[in-house]
Amino acid sequence: MRPVFDKGRNSRAVGSSSTVWTLPPCQVTIRPRDHGQFWGEVRAKVEGLSGDPDAGARLAVSDVQLVPSRVPASDPMGSTGQDRAGAAASSEGLQAFPVLQGATHNTYQPLAWQALSELRDVVRKYGLGSAKVMQVLRSFNASLLTPFDIRSLARALFPPVEYDFFENKWTRLAVRAVERNTTLGPGDPRRMVNIDMLMGTGNYTRAEGQAGYEPLVQEQCQQTGMAALVQTLQLATPQQPFATIVQGIDEPFLCFAGRLTAAVEKQVSDPAARKLMIQSVAQGNCNAACKRIIEALPGEPSMSDMVGACAKISPSSQQEQLDQGHLEPSTSPWNTPVFCIKKKFGKWRLLQDLRKINAMMEGMGTLQAGMPSPTMLPADWPVLIVDLKDCFFMIPLHPDGRPKFAFTVPTINNAEPAQRYQWKVMPQGMRNSPVLCQWYVAHALSGVCKQFPDARVYHYMDDILVATPTQDELLRIQPQLLNALHSHGLQVAPEKVQQQPPWKYLGVKILERTICHQEVQFVQSVKTLNDAQKLVYRIEPSIDVTVFISLPGGWRKALGASGLHLDSAAHVP
């Protein structure tokens, strides 16, 4: 129904002029640089299977695909990348993202949305030239990258001015590479390479065509493009004096120590002086919480001692929201109760009882009569599904409305006055939060819908589905969609982005040729808040569970709104 890859198109490698030669069923796995050993193994395999000692000499280079052995140290696509690679190896060949190495030809697979989104987040958090960014780029470079992918990485990294410099740098490096290729032997496929092939421009803009380059050409394209990327990164990054590096309020001490160490190593040449400088600056520039712990350590603590001691710091719920910019100190006369609940993986979630506020608030009604149905999508259209992260907390409240959402946090043993805060963003449990979220996300997506009128963009609350007639158009719409969401302060949850079937959207499962309802597994006993949330959402996703769970007896009310009635003996608060 919706194939992601078109495997019926030109399966011959670009630039190959050799005759087609079919290798008998066999598998030869080699490392990319062991070309001499590779052809020796292939020739021996062919002669052994065919019985013809001259059969190996007739083998064409472009008809046998090189299986890459480079595996990224940390998969930027998440834990599912390894599973998908294993599935590809068992069915169609070994997979080195984003190029799928098949038994007969290469097939392009786009860079994961999660990876590009995480790269943007790392740049935003640690800076353009940080060690974290370089680590992510090394993980990308460990796989086969087409010029299209390198250009996608550059767009995710650089603003317009730096991006133009990157293109110019890439062009200069490509010109030099083409000049060097003229000195290569007549059998080397790189002799026929031009600048457009190396940069993926002109007649070579299609990513699928770039995936079919000869292995040596692919390697040169990647080396040239990544060299331009790294050189631009280095020139665009100002060198921060190590003495000005300060630990953030919610920054882990280990990350702060890593930034500090990287800066000191670049600016201090003496190894002994480096060690003393790192320890001294780390103690002086850490945040208040870490400083209290480090000062309590005996003697002269080493960096390992400081990292181990500060690793146990975990902020309180209100402090975590305050550090993230969701709360601000308040002197408001308004006050509503708050409490904390334990989430599935052990973290605590701050909830506020907004019954009194909701009673005074006029409802805004609904913006949509129902949820969009994926059954209206045309057949064979590729699909992308995006889930927004903490959507309510990304929508700002008007300054005049913030005092109404104030609350008080008592202190331990009443040792000091209670702390008063108010929300700067839309709180969960507010009566009109779902409607405002729906309107805000629709406003953020309106520009993308106008720019790509042929695309189908469905969204309900924080769930977004995008479908386009072709895979190329879907690749073009991805960066525009990401930029539109980021410009409105919305963040994508990388772990919930879906690029491959089966796609799960609003209670249905979208397969390649069918759409069916997801299997529902009911919780036998509701013992935790997470159990109640999952049960209510599986029955009726449109219910705002947070409105109910902030109330006494809220679980029973939420289940009742879904048409469920619990036994009177059931132990539900």
Q: What are phi and psi of 463, to 5 degrees?
A: -105, 125
* Rounded-to-integer distance, Cα 6 and Cα 212, Å: 13
- Angle, in degrees to the nearest 10, between helices 271-285 and 253-267: 140
Is the domain 35-236 a CATH 1.10.375.10 member? yes
Strands, E assignment, 287-370: 327-329, 338-342, 348-352
Average pLDDT rounded to a whole number, residues 413-432: 85
How would residue 262 be classed by pLDDT, with cut points 50, 70 and 90? confident
Dump pLDDT digits (tens) for 475-524: 888 888 888 888 888 888 777 888 887 888 887 888 767 777 766 666 66
Q: Do domains 35-236 and 374-512 have the same CATH topology?
A: no
* Rounded-to-integer distance, Cα 85 and Cα 97, Å: 8
Dump pLDDT digits (tens) for 234-254: 777 666 677 788 887 667 888
- What is the reported pLDDT for 569? 40
Q: Does the pLDDT value for residue 315 go beyond 60? A: no
Dump pLDDT digits (tens) for 378-414: 888 888 998 888 888 888 888 898 999 998 888 777 7
* Rounded-to-integer distance, Cα 113 and Cα 100, Å: 17
Q: Does the pLDDT value for residue 43 go beyond 80? A: no
Q: Which neighbouring-strand residues pair with 421?
A: 329, 407
- What is the reported pLDDT for 560? 53
Q: What are phi and psi of 86, to 5 degrees?
A: -65, -40
How would residue 550 be classed by pLDDT, with cut points 50, 70 and 90? very low
Amino acid letter for position 163: Y
Record the pTM.
0.45
Amino acid letter for position 414: N
Q: Which neighbouring-strand residues pair with 409?
A: 419
- What is the reported pLDDT for 48? 58
Domain ranges of the chain: 35-236, 251-310, 374-512, 520-573
Lowest mean pLDDT among 240-249, 416-425, 435-444: 240-249
Average pLDDT rounded to a whole number, residues 325-338: 86
- What is the reported pLDDT for 464? 92
Report the first-to-last Cα separation within the chain, whole angstroms: 46
Q: Does the pLDDT value for residue 169 go beyond 70? A: yes
Q: Which neighbouring-strand residues pair with 465?
A: 385, 458
Half-sphere CA count of 42, side-chain side, radius 13 A: 23
Q: Does the pLDDT value for residue 73 go beyond 80? A: no
- What is the reported pLDDT for 455? 92
- What is the reported pLDDT for 403? 92
125 or 44, which is more confident? 125
Q: Which residue matches tokens 């421009």?
A: 201
Lowest mean pLDDT among 136-140, 226-230, 332-336, 347-351: 347-351
Q: Does the pLDDT value for residue 567 go beyond 80? A: no
Averaged confidence pLDDT in the chain: 73
Q: Which neighbouring-strand residues pair with 352?
A: 338
Task: Please tell me the CATH code under which domain 374-512 is placed.
Answer: 3.30.70.270
Which residues, in sequence order, are CB contacts of 105 under 8 Å at separation 6+? 7, 11, 12, 13, 65, 212
